[in-house]
Amino acid sequence: MRVVVQNDINRAYGNRATRRRRAGVRGALAALALAAAVSGCTQPGADKAAPPAHGAQPLHAPPARALDSYASRLRAAYAARVAAAKRWGLAKVPLQAPPAPAHKPEITARKGFEVDDQEELNLPPVFTTIPTKRKIVFLTIDDGENKDPAFLRMMSDLKIPYTAFLSNYLVKDDYGYFRKMQAQGHTLNNHTLTHPYLPGLSYAEQKREICGMQDIMKKQFGQAPTVFRPPYGNYNHDTLVAAKSCGIKYAPIWDEEVFVDHWEYREDDRSLHPGDIVLTHFRGRADWKGTMVDDMRRFLGKVTAEGYAVARIEDYL
Ligand SMILES: [Zn+2]
């Protein structure tokens, strides 16, 4: 990304120099001449970091007048990301996720994670990874106990997407904190009323835990989610039937979990894979040795170092 942006900036600078020279000599003809230069062929080496030779322009450059503002926008956006990364103590600038895919992948239950009649009843699939070849991961944050204002500032500053799975007994003392999160573009999802071990409950009790949380979320946040995560990742047939009856379409769990001081992996290879769903929790110094900001620094440090960007899960569901 750094190289691409630098090239765009160099093109813009080259473009400005060209314009100044021509403006001095040819006056009103300058704009026409510049337009002709822009539509010319790319010369070998034009994509190198040095400013392009006179007249050399990329094949797919925006129109001449748009180029300056396009380049300054890119330059400003990148500078803002560099500054934000520095402000929050990140070793590297987080990578930007590619745009949402034109066609969403088909999400099915992970093998071995299906329940009886999964397909026949069209039950919400339980999965740990989203099928994609892109080097992206998805960040999901659970429960809602710790409500650190610095966490909201950090993620907004760095423009990192995530979704939250909320359990009512932990969030009810401050729904406003999660409304701020929602206002920043993050989706709030269902993680039950009281965070029970669902397979230990009857169907009716499970339904109350899931549908009850749907009702509260509709009232507090304006809409009932379509995404639900069973506490501890534990569920049975009744869980998914109950969830479906409450309007749930997906039941993602996770492939990796990040803590403030270490990572845990579901797979034996102990590594990140394209499309992996990563779990962490809203926790603070009372729960582990650090803040949410420290936790996010660990998360972003690893995914960035390994060449992954953080993408919006809603873009793939
Ligand atoms: Zn939980």
Query: What are the structural domain ranges in the chain?
Result: 2-85, 95-316
Distance of alpha carbon 285 from its chain centroid, rounded? 25
Sign of CA dihedral 2, 4, 8, 10: positive
Distance 199 CA to ligand 1 centre (A): 15
Distance 238 CA to ligand 1 centre (A): 19
**Cα separations in angstroms, 33 against 10, 68, 283:** 20, 16, 60
Distance CA 275, CA 281 (A): 19
* Per-residue confidence (pLDDT) for residue 11, from 0 to 100: 40
**Cα separations in angstroms, 302 against 3, 71, 92:** 21, 30, 10
Distance 231 CA to ligand 1 centre (A): 5
Distance 156 CA to ligand 1 centre (A): 23
Distance 205 CA to ligand 1 centre (A): 18
Q: Which protein residues have a CB closer than 5 Å to ligand 1 (ion)?
A: 142-143, 231
Distance 304 CA to ligand 1 centre (A): 26
Distance 229 CA to ligand 1 centre (A): 8
* Per-residue confidence (pLDDT) for residue 123, from 0 to 100: 98
Instruction: Note every long-range contact of 6-10, with CB atoms under 8 Å and residues 24 or more positions apart, other chains counting.
Output: 6/49, 7/47, 7/49, 8/70, 8/71, 8/74, 8/75, 9/71, 9/74, 9/75, 10/49, 10/50, 10/51, 10/52
Q: Enumerate residues 6+ apart whose C-beta is below 8 A from 66.
A: none
Distance 227 CA to ligand 1 centre (A): 14
* Per-residue confidence (pLDDT) for residue 68, from 0 to 100: 82
Distance CA 112, CA 239 (A): 16
Distance 94 CA to ligand 1 centre (A): 27
* Per-residue confidence (pLDDT) for residue 168, from 0 to 100: 98
Whether the Cβ atoms of residue 110 and residue 129 lie closer than 8 Å to each other: yes
Q: What architecture is domain 95-316?
A: Alpha-Beta Barrel (3.20)
Sign of CA dihedral 74, 295, 279, 144: negative
Distance 66 CA to ligand 1 centre (A): 48
> What pTM did the predictor assign?
0.79
Distance 278 CA to ligand 1 centre (A): 13
H or E element that contains 142: strand 136-143
Only one residue has tokens 């499970």, namely 206
Given a cut of 70, the residues of the chain with pLDDT beneath it are 1-62, 64
DSSP 3-state percent helix, strand, coil across the chain (nearest 5): 45, 10, 45
How far does the chain reach from its first CA to its final CA, in angstroms?
27
Torsion of CA 189, 195, 200, 201, to 10 degrees: -70
Q: Enumerate residues 6+ apart whose C-beta is below 8 A from 314.
A: 163, 187
With CA atoms as reference, report the closest residue to 228 among 252, 209, 254.
Answer: 252
Distance 301 CA to ligand 1 centre (A): 24
